[in-house]
Amino acid sequence: MRNFVIQVKFPFGSCPSEYWHEVRWYATTAQEGEVHLGEQGRIERPKKDPTIDPDLLRLEVDFPLNGLVYILGWKPLLRAG
């Protein structure tokens, strides 16, 4: 089984509440940079598990497709002041 994982570890207490994933065509394809809606809809939303690590954001993709770019995005937290 092929599995692809993206993990981002944030500093203590700064894991964002808004996050998402995108799947886009790789730059050498005819659809360069366009969103691949079929694959994007197939994979699950990124996960946070406060019981394991509240500052870790994780995207798991079972059987990723060649020629696509998998992106984990988030909205940064604003600094006070």
Q: What is the pLDDT along the chain (81 residues), one digit of tens a residue?
A: 489 999 999 999 888 999 999 999 887 766 767 888 999 999 999 999 888 899 999 999 999 998 889 999 999 887 655
pLDDT value at position 41? 94
Taking a C-beta distance cutoff of 8 angstroms, is the pair 39, 23 a contact? yes
Taking a C-beta distance cutoff of 8 angstroms, is the pair 39, 10 a contact? no
pLDDT value at position 52? 85
pLDDT value at position 81? 52
The answer to whether the pTM exceeds 0.85 is no
pLDDT value at position 2? 87
* Six token digits for residue 69: 């770019």
